[in-house]
């Protein structure tokens, strides 16, 4: 190891390698998802060439490498083990170019999402990848996990915003595929290999991202609905009547709404608690004179058709923030029911309500008095569940996993809609993938990383 | 070969294999792109299991297999060679399911696009993949080539409409990855391997496609513009002011417009010929009361800002068809300048006008009196060129290729925006891909098709 460490130190500047006590908690604290080991060192390269040199040295030595971005992942995808070489992209944080005509941004993998948002905004555009961890999450991590978020219904997952990228393979080969065009059918679309594969097939070092025109208006409503079949019908009405302008459609089951009322004193629930489902939805528009009236007219239509029973429309940015806080700001309540287990699953919309009902019932049987809260991005087929059973043990966690993922498996859903597999869901990958799928994943892994040095133990 | 033919015959019903004179021109006429050989037989399976059995037999025998869909490709991707086994998906043409809640269609690869359009329409949706060959092109072919078309600016390439698929690998392994959700981050996104790889990595047999709500209005304008920088500025204005509603943005250089005026007597050019660029654009909307007025107001703004110099707005479906015919209906004119070479390239928008100017000039130097017509999907970074040099020889074709692809290479563009590589552009793949990219494509090919039996000689 001493030889390798010396070689690695020679590949970077003095700030480019950390060992021993210099390895701070940033590199080992992965939000409790799997215990981190003691990495041999942390490499902090400043260029793709340095990443290549580091990987080549590790490859030759057969040393495992764990790539890290902003360390905001939720499934332990960045957790190092004993003796791993951590490779943090944090110092590769330049935004190289904004092309306002082609509407692209070229940036390093270590750029923090919020920084990229600001640069896009200054140029008159929006970078539509967005999620709560925007202040720490990096572009490379978002690409490696194909991150989702609240704007997927309008702009798609991160995959759809990536036009090109540069990646370094396990043996140090640099793959530069910095396509800037929306269309490029010249051979295989290699970038897809590195989007969503959590650093197990190669390390993303740079990217070309697609920017979008800024919406000129945002209209927000919070509505109550009494029967589940009206929820997708309301979604369909909005989607049809808003053209391409539906910006978010988030559903909360009543148990979650009641929880917010009881446990989040700083929030202001806008509707009475007698509905079974609550939806917060955004319309993104381009006509400041007319959009809000039109949005309210569509809601009136939905009410007349019996699709929604009650609702409020935000009259100011402050009111919009308050409505969204019901969906996103329940942290103070969650702290009162810790420890809890969180889930990120997808399934056909038609089975969602059955999933929610059965999940709550089965968990109640296994853990009487448990709290199971269901909410999520219904329009994307994606629900989140928050489960508190009064026991944070690994055994309890596994028992809840088995219950929820079993229902998902039977419904043809996925154990990971947007968070990825990491270490946390690895044992459940084959609950939503066939044997043939898993075998071909392994075949790709063997082909691109024959020594298995990249992010070992993650995904497969 | 006799043994293999007998085994193949045993794998399908009596209509499932064609040999000798029964092999009609459908299977060997590939629009003149590369001379077709005499295939050993044509297999016409009716199920994924039969496709698997056929591939297993061919794999064991080391026999090459050429998959075929509707045979509308433009780069020779379906051309068989002597002794190849043609595998036509034409009899796998069932639409299995429409889910109006999840808004998905599950269909066989051999379904003709126009048929799928009709079924989607009957269910109240639009399947947004669309192109001129819709009456023959099949879903499997569209997926295998990641087809584009005029609606890419609104809905993306075919890739973005594919949620899941089933593919058969070279050795007969069936990979069922029929995901129905918009989000699924459970491991690698394997379907990407088979989208756009032209049947060289596996054969797509079934798919899950995403449907979209029907637009309620379409507004169409045809405008004249005098300077190139106003073209992307006009695009940006439309994109911003229309929210997500920009449905098409097609640009024609003046040489093309003049050509239509001179060679297409059945068309009705709507504007005088004094402009340098012409644009036909669609706005897709959802508000029948207001959309047309709003569209005209945006055009008025563009005129006031000096971005467009002249324009007409279609007042009826007939007028819309007439405007679009300028862009799409020039076949009568093209026939008068045959033989001609056609191109499908992409590049950053900022270099497009230089590409057009330099292409026309360089081709004129090489072939005095040649016609070079430029038009295309500017918003997608994709241009088409039609070149007639009075000589249809392979030598002339190669010379024009070298000129145009040389300019594209220097501009960082792609030799194929949407048509694919097939046989026709194979020699130019490395003009827009790096050595490392091509090497990794080869590595994937070796991994998934180690004997090289799938669509030999295509792409790489």
Q: What is the per-residue pLDDT across A161-209, written as a single tens digit (0 to 9) for each?
A: 999 999 999 999 999 999 999 999 999 999 999 999 999 999 999 999 9
Arithmetic mean of pLDDT, A326-337: 95
What are phi and psi for residue B29, nearest 5 degrees?
-90, 105
Chain B residues closer than 8 Å to A232 by CB = 101
Q: Are residues A341 and A370 in the same domain?
A: yes
Q: Are residues B155 and B197 in the same domain?
A: yes
Interface touch B188/A232, C-beta < 8 Å: no
Q: Are residues A280 and A207 in the same domain?
A: no
Chain A residues closer than 8 Å to B187 by CB = 421, 429, 433, 437-438, 441, 459-460
Helices (H), A203-316: 230-241, 254-263, 291-304
Query: How far is the C-alpha of B181 from the C-alpha of B162, rounded, in Å?
Result: 10
The continuous run of DSSP H or E covering B71 comes out as none
Helices A2-11 and A48-61 sit at what angle, rounded to 10 degrees? 170
pLDDT of B360: 97
pLDDT of B34: 63
Residue A280: name the closest of A244, A319, A243 by CA: A319
Interface touch B414/A185, C-beta < 8 Å: yes
CA distance B196 to chain A (A): 7
Contact A131, A147 (CB under 8 A): yes
Q: Is A425 left (phi over 0), alpha (psi -120 to 50) or beta?
A: alpha
CA distance B338 to chain A (A): 26
Put simply, the chain B residues between 91 and 110 with a CB less than 8 A from any chain A CB are 99, 101-103
| ipTM computed for the complex | 0.95
- Judged by a CB distance cut-off of 8 A, whether residue A297 touches chain B is no
Task: Summarize pLDDT for A419-444 with one digit per residue, the tens.
Answer: 999 999 999 999 999 999 999 999 99
Q: Is residue B425 a part of any domain in this protein?
A: yes
Chain B residues closer than 8 Å to A186 by CB = 414-416, 421, 425, 429, 432-433
Interface touch A99/B160, C-beta < 8 Å: no
Q: Are residues A318 and A386 in the same domain?
A: no
Q: Are residues A362 and A406 in the same domain?
A: yes
pLDDT of B32: 63
Interface touch A181/B417, C-beta < 8 Å: yes
Tokens of B319: 């007028």
Among chain B residues, the shortest Cα distance to A184 is held by B417
* Model confidence band, residue A355 (pLDDT cutoffs 50, 70, 90): very high
**Residue whose pair of structure tokens reads 């927000």 in the numeric block:** A220
Q: Is residue A450 a part of any domain in this protein?
A: no
Q: Is residue A424 a part of any domain in this protein?
A: yes
Domains held by chain A: number: 4
Q: Are residues A226 and A303 in the same domain?
A: yes
Query: How far is the C-alpha of A33 from the C-alpha of A53, rounded, in Å?
Result: 30
Among chain B residues, the shortest Cα distance to A192 is held by B192
Task: Name the residue facing A416 among B185, B377, B459 (closest C-beta).
Answer: B185
Put simply, the chain A residues between 15 and 74 with a CB less than 8 A from any chain B CB are none
Query: How far is the C-alpha of A242 from the C-alpha of A25, rounded, in Å?
Result: 46
Q: Is residue B354 a part of any domain in this protein?
A: yes
Query: How far is the C-alpha of A132 from the C-alpha of B214, rounded, in Å?
Result: 32
For residue B339, whether the previous peptide bond is cis, meaning omega lies within 30 degrees of 0, is yes
Q: Is residue A46 a part of any domain in this protein?
A: yes
Contact A369, A351 (CB under 8 A): no
Chain B residues closer than 8 Å to A185 by CB = 145-146, 148, 196, 414, 416-421
Q: Where residue A254 sits, what CATH number does that domain have?
A: 3.30.70.2190
Question: What percentage of chain A's residues is helix, strand, coil (to nearest 5)?
Answer: 40, 20, 40
CB atoms within 10 A of CB B388: 22
Q: Are residues B162 and B185 in the same domain?
A: yes
Q: A4 exposed, middle or buried (CB, 10 Å; 0-12, 13-18, 19+)?
A: middle
Beta strands in A286-419 (DSSP E): 310-313, 341-346, 371-377, 382-388
Q: Where residue B56 sits, what CATH number does that domain have?
A: 3.30.43.10
Contact B191, B157 (CB under 8 A): no
pLDDT of B33: 63
The continuous run of DSSP H or E covering A138 comes out as none
Task: Name the residue facing A183 among B176, B290, B346 (closest C-beta).
Answer: B346
Tokens of B381: 């970074």
CA distance A2 to chain B (A): 32
User: Final residue of a domain: which of B273, B296, B331?
Assistant: B331
pLDDT of B244: 85
Task: Name the residue facing B174 among A176, A414, A436 (closest C-beta).
Answer: A436
Put simply, the chain A residues between 154 and 193 with a CB less than 8 A from any chain B CB are 154, 156-157, 159-160, 169, 173-177, 179-190, 192-193
Q: Are residues A296 and A351 in the same domain?
A: no
Interface touch A416/B184, C-beta < 8 Å: yes
DSSP A152-166: HHHH--GGGGEEEEE
Interface touch A146/B433, C-beta < 8 Å: no
Query: How far is the C-alpha of B375 from the C-alpha of B252, rounded, in Å?
Result: 4
Q: Are residues A228 and A164 in the same domain?
A: no
Residue A30: name the closest of A449, A317, A423, A452 by CA: A423
Query: How far is the C-alpha of B165 from the C-alpha of B204, rounded, in Å?
Result: 7
Task: Name the residue facing B148 among A175, A183, A350 (closest C-beta).
Answer: A183
Residue A296: give the domain boundaries: 217-331
In the predicted model, is pLDDT for residue A34 greater than 70?
Answer: no
Interface touch A381/B99, C-beta < 8 Å: no
Interface touch B102/A432, C-beta < 8 Å: no
Arithmetic mean of pLDDT, A288-311: 96
CA distance B229 to chain A (A): 9
Interface touch B183/A414, C-beta < 8 Å: yes
Q: Is residue A252 a part of any domain in this protein?
A: yes
User: Final residue of a domain: which of A88, A113, A148?
Assistant: A88
Put simply, the chain B residues between 188 and 217 with a CB less than 8 A from any chain A CB are 188-190, 192-193, 195-197, 201, 213-216
In whole angstroms, what separates CA A104 from the centre of its chain? 22
Give me the residues of chain B with pLDDT under 50, please.
Answer: none
Which residues on neighbouring strands pair with residue B258, listed in sequence order? none
Q: Is residue B447 a part of any domain in this protein?
A: no
pLDDT of B36: 84
Indicate the DSSP class of residue A214.
Answer: P
Q: Is residue A458 a part of any domain in this protein?
A: no
Q: Where residue A118 sits, what CATH number does that domain have?
A: 3.30.465.10
Which of A174, A185, A246 would you mutate first to test chain B, the one with the most B CBs within 10 A?
A: A185
Which of B187, B296, B444, B455 would you mutate first to test chain A, the one with the most A CBs within 10 A?
A: B187
For residue A12, whether the previous peptide bond is cis, meaning omega lies within 30 degrees of 0, is no
Task: Name the residue facing A245 among B175, B244, B440 (closest C-beta).
Answer: B244
Q: Are residues A209 and A224 in the same domain?
A: no
User: Final residue of a domain: which of B88, B111, B136?
Assistant: B88
Tokens of B342: 């056609």
Q: Are residues A348 and A422 in the same domain?
A: yes
Q: Where residue B359 sits, what CATH number does that domain have?
A: 3.30.70.2740
Among chain A residues, the shortest Cα distance to B419 is held by A185
Q: Are residues A299 and A344 in the same domain?
A: no
Q: Could you tell me which residue, B140 or A36, shows the higher pLDDT? A: B140
Give the three-class secondary structure for B7.
Answer: helix
In the predicted model, is pLDDT for residue A32 greater than 70?
Answer: no
């Amino acid at each position: 190891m001493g030889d390798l460490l010396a070689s690695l130190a020679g590949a970077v500047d003095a700030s480019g390698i950390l060992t021993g006590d210099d390895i701070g908690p940033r590199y080992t604290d992965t939000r409790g998802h799997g215990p981190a080991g003691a990495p041999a060192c942390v490499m902090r390269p400043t260029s793709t060439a340095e990443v290549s040199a580091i990987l080549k040295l590790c490859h030759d030595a057969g040393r495992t490498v764990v790539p890290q971005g902003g360390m905001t992942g939720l499934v332990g995808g960045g957790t190092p083990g004993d003796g791993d070489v951590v490779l943090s992209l944090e110092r590769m944080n330049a935004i190289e170019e904004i092309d306002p005509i082609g509407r692209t941004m070229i940036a390093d993998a270590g750029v923090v999402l919020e920084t990229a948002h600001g640069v896009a905004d200054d140029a008159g555009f929006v970078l539509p990848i967005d999620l709560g961890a925007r202040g720490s999450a990096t572009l490379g991590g978002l690409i490696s996990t194909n991150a989702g978020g609240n704007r997927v219904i309008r702009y798609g997952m991160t995959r759809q915003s990536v036009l090109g990228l540069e990646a370094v393979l396990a043996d140090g080969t640099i793959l530069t595929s910095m396509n800037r065009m929306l269309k490029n059918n010249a051979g295989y679309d290699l970038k897809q290999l590195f989007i969503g594969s959590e650093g197990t097939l190669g390390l993303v070092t740079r990217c070309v991202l697609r920017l979008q025109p800024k919406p000129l208006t945002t209209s927000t409503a919070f509505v109550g609905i009494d029967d589940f079949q009206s929820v997708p019908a309301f979604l369909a009405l909005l989607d049809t009547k808003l053209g391409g302008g539906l910006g978010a459609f988030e559903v909360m089951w009543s148990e979650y709404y009641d929880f917010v009322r009881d446990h989040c004193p700083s929030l202001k629930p806008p509707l009475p608690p007698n509905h079974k489902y609550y939806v917060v939805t955004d319309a993104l528009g381009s006509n400041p004179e007319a959009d809000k009236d039109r949005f309210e007219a569509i809601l009136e239509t939905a009410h007349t058709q019996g699709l929604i029973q009650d609702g409020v429309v935000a009259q100011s940015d402050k009111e919009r923030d308050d409505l969204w806080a019901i969906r996103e700001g329940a942290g103070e309540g969650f702290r009162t029911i810790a420890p809890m287990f969180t889930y990120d699953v997808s399934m056909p919309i038609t089975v969602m309500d059955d999933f929610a009902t059965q999940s709550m019932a089965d968990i109640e049987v296994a853990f009487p008095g448990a709290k199971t809260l269901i909410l999520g991005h219904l329009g994307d087929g994606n629900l989140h569940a928050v489960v508190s059973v009064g026991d944070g043990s690994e055994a309890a966690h596994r028992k809840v996993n088995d219950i929820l993922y079993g229902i998902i498996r039977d419904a043809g859903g996925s154990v990971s809609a947007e968070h990825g597999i990491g270490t946390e869901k690895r044992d459940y990958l084959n609950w939503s993938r066939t044997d043939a799928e898993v075998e071909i994943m392994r075949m790709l892994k063997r082909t691109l990383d024959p020594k298995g040095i990249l992010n070992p133990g993650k995904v497969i």
